[in-house]
Amino acid sequence: MNADGRTRLHQTPEWKALAKHRDELGEVRLRDLFAADPGRGTGCTLRVGDLYVDHSKHLVTDETLRLLRELAAATGVFGLRDAMFRGERINTTEDRAVLHTALRAPRDAVIEVDGENVVPKVHAVLDEMADFADRVRSGEWTGHTGKRIRNVVNVGIGGSDLGPAMAYEALRAFTDRELTVRFVSNVDGADLHEATRDLDPAETLFVIASKTFTTIETVTNATSARTWLLKALGDEKAVARHFVALSTNAEKVAGFGIDTANMFEFWDWVGGRYSYDSAIGLSLMIAIGPDRFREMLDGFHLVDEHFRTAPAESNVPLLMGLLGVWYGNFMGAQSHAVLPYSHYLSKFTAYLQQLDMESNGKSVDREGRPVAWQTGPVVWGTPGTNGQHAYYQLIHQGTKLIPADFIGFARPVAELSDELAAQHDLLMANFFAQTQALAFGKTPDEVRAEGVPEELVPHKTFRGDHPTTTILARELTPSVLGQLVALYEHKVFVQGAIWNIDSFDQWGVELGKVLAKRVEPALTEGAEVPGLDASTKALVAAYRELRGRK
Ligand SMILES: O=P(O)(O)OC[C@H]1O[C@](O)(CO)[C@@H](O)[C@@H]1O
């Protein structure tokens, strides 16, 4: 039993019913499911906004989905969802509300945290960002020497980098091509070096993105960026024209030397990995312009409303979350692949890794007790068709069950030449062929019928039954990107709610930070670090020797 008297997840009747159902189902063959129901291809599709979501190629029956929905209801997913939208402090270990949905709420919405409607301040910051972005884009905001800003360098890490960097790539076709926009995150000096080596400091704006403004990587890179700028411009006053901050921590921003008049604020109820539609999106907004940014927010909001109000049977994030629970908890899957068939989504899966793995990579429940069930999967993947010539072999013929999401678009971006746009059908032919091959494979008899010698038949047989979700949209617009991201945010929410874990804290990143601080003097000064284990001690000694330090 839980501290609050509720039965623990794996002991609930709904969980046990699913385990029994799995045993009764035995081996599920997609060929059989499709043969039994000729309408499955169209029947198992849902629509949300501009997204067409096909879930027919999953190893589930109507009964599986019904039992999964019962699990969701029994574990309080809908109550927790409503509490999140209401601004309750559902991030219990940090005692915070979880309100990224307020960042994309319309101006007239009312969402209260501690009795205060937060929507007006969200829109006030959006308006300030829009004003600033317009001034940079028009050339009205100049650098210290009066030169126009032509380069924007975002300095941040984790949620203060991955979201805007991913969205910038995704929406490149909508960006001002006259501006160079780069993202620096790694504390490896090579990152900042490569991002700035060909830029004119007089034309460069640094956007320092850090919720806490204490993150060592970001503060270190921001300090080096300031040194780079001042070396060229030679005047402390230049900082005010070349540095802006995106943060919740005005005191630290001022302490760093950035005028808080040049700070765009957000709030502790916005989690880092849920923050790119807050002030953290400023570099993106400068690149695509405020109107496109707002279209993206509208896309997010559309899916928020769908998640909040759609019935369980047609609720897409709920379905995606439940399918993940089915595979992870009842079918033994350890990972989940996200495979976008769009070059512009090259950073989408990396972005989802933080969203999903930092949120649901937990092994104690909300009451602090070890969980007795699997939680978040390893999320991985790269854009098709590249993966097909690398790791798809393992998905098709390996021994692991790897559920995958395929994301594709009917139209290429408008600016492609006719010749390049014509390649789009080939890209999408691969997209459809892969999910078909993964689902239905190729039987030994089909292989034999091709005249393949008997000894090669096992090698050329494809078992099939590799489950996929297909997400199709007309084209990758700012709104569609917002819809996609919100879909995954809420999918992660559903799973965390079922697993009874806090999806909104990230204590697991703390230990490494503390140890790095402790070990650094050993590297630089050869200092004795108390309590250093024998392996790390030997490695540090080897490092110092290789580095040429005595
Ligand atoms: O925006 P900040 O405070 O610099 O934090 C950056 C990132 O560090 C983390 O706290 C831990 O990696 C993330 O959750 C966060 O997105």
pLDDT of residue 414: 85
Tokens for 11, please give them.
């002991």
Q: Which is nearest to 44 in space by CA: 58, 29, 54, 59?
A: 54
- Give me ligand 1 centre to Cα 266, in Å: 14
358 in catalytic set:
yes
| DSSP string across 311-343 | -GGG-HHHHHHHHHHIIIIIS---EEEEEES-G
Print pLDDT tens along the chain (550 aa).
Answer: 455 556 799 999 999 999 999 999 999 999 999 999 999 999 999 999 999 999 999 999 999 999 999 999 999 999 999 999 999 999 999 999 999 999 999 999 999 999 999 999 999 999 999 999 999 999 999 999 999 999 999 999 999 999 999 999 999 999 999 999 999 999 999 999 999 999 999 999 999 999 999 999 999 999 999 999 999 999 999 999 999 999 999 999 999 999 999 999 999 999 999 999 999 999 999 999 999 999 999 999 999 999 999 999 999 999 999 999 999 999 999 999 999 999 999 999 999 999 999 999 999 999 999 999 999 999 999 998 999 999 999 999 999 999 999 999 999 998 899 999 999 999 999 999 999 999 999 999 999 999 999 999 999 999 999 999 999 999 999 999 999 999 999 999 999 999 999 999 999 999 999 999 999 999 999 999 998 999 999 999 999 999 998 7
The answer to whether 196 and 138 have CB atoms below 8 angstroms apart is no
Residue with tokens 């960006």: 175
Gap between the Cα atoms of 385 and 408, Å rounded:
11
Atom of ligand 1 nearest to the CA of 358: 14
- Give me ligand 1 centre to Cα 122, in Å: 21
Instruction: Please name the amino acid found at residue 343.
Output: H
Q: What is the dihedral of CA 459, 461, 464, 470, to 10 degrees?
A: 80
- Give me ligand 1 centre to Cα 295, in Å: 26
490 in catalytic set:
no
Q: Look at ligand 1, atom 4, and give the residue with the nearest C-alpha.
A: 210
Q: Residue 180 belongs to what H/E stretch?
A: strand 180-184
Choose one of 162, 211, 354, 509 to mutate for the ligand 1 pocket test, by most ligand atoms within 8 angstroms of C-beta: 211
The answer to whether 281 and 272 have CB atoms below 8 angstroms apart is no
> Coil, strand, or helix at residue 71?
helix
List, in sequence order, every residue forming a beta bridge with 96; answer none if it has no partner: 91
Gap between the Cα atoms of 451 and 112, Å rounded:
69
Q: Look at ligand 1, atom 9, and give the residue with the nearest C-alpha.
A: 158
Atom of ligand 1 nearest to the CA of 156: 4
16: how many CB neighbours lie within 10 A of its CB? 11
Q: Which is nearest to 366 in space by CA: 247, 505, 248?
A: 505
Gap between the Cα atoms of 273 and 355, Å rounded:
6
- Give me ligand 1 centre to Cα 272, in Å: 6
Atom of ligand 1 nearest to the CA of 247: 1
The answer to whether 160 and 211 have CB atoms below 8 angstroms apart is yes
- Give me ligand 1 centre to Cα 251, in Å: 18
Phi, psi of 335, rounded to the nearest 5 degrees: -140, 170
The answer to whether 265 and 279 have CB atoms below 8 angstroms apart is yes
The answer to whether 209 and 155 have CB atoms below 8 angstroms apart is yes
Gap between the Cα atoms of 212 and 201, Å rounded:
26
Instruction: Write down the catalytic residue from 389, 459, 528, 550.
Output: 389
The answer to whether 331 and 22 have CB atoms below 8 angstroms apart is yes
Gap between the Cα atoms of 183 and 383, Å rounded:
20
Choose one of 160, 166, 246, 275 to mutate for the ligand 1 pocket test, by most ligand atoms within 8 angstroms of C-beta: 160
Burial class of 82 by CB neighbour count within 10 A (0 to 12, 13 to 18, 19+):
exposed
Q: What's the gap between Cα 383 and its chain centre?
A: 15
**Residue 385: cis peptide before it, omega within 30 degrees of 0:** yes
List, in sequence order, every residue forming a beta bridge with 46; answer none if it has no partner: 53
Around ligand 1, the residues with Cβ closer than 6 Å are 157-160, 210-212, 215, 218, 272-273, 358, 506, 509
Choose one of 157, 249, 266 to mutate for the ligand 1 pocket test, by most ligand atoms within 8 angstroms of C-beta: 157
3-state helix, strand, coil in the chain (%, to 5): 55, 10, 35
Strands 243-247 and 204-209: parallel
Q: Look at ligand 1, atom 14, and give the residue with the nearest C-alpha.
A: 272
- Give me ligand 1 centre to Cα 155, in Å: 12
442 in catalytic set:
no
Instruction: Write down the catalytic residue from 14, 169, 358, 489.
Output: 358
Instruction: Looking at 98-147, list the stretches that DSSP marks H as alpha helix, in order from N- to C-terminal side.
Output: 119-138
Neighbouring residues of 243: CB distance < 8 A, sequence distance ≥ 6: 205, 206, 208, 222, 225, 226, 229, 257, 258, 262
Q: Which is nearest to 202 in space by CA: 144, 131, 244?
A: 144
Atom of ligand 1 nearest to the CA of 218: 4
Counts for the chain of helices (H) and strands (E), in that order: 24, 13
Gap between the Cα atoms of 298 and 283, Å rounded:
19
Atom of ligand 1 nearest to the CA of 273: 16
Q: Which is nearest to 286 in space by CA: 192, 193, 167?
A: 167
Instruction: Write down the catalytic residue from 10, 193, 400, 513.
Output: 513
Burial of 51-60, coded b for 16+ CB within 10 Å and e otherwise, reads bebbbbbbbb
Choose one of 187, 214, 215, 492 to mutate for the ligand 1 pocket test, by most ligand atoms within 8 angstroms of C-beta: 215
pLDDT of residue 6: 63
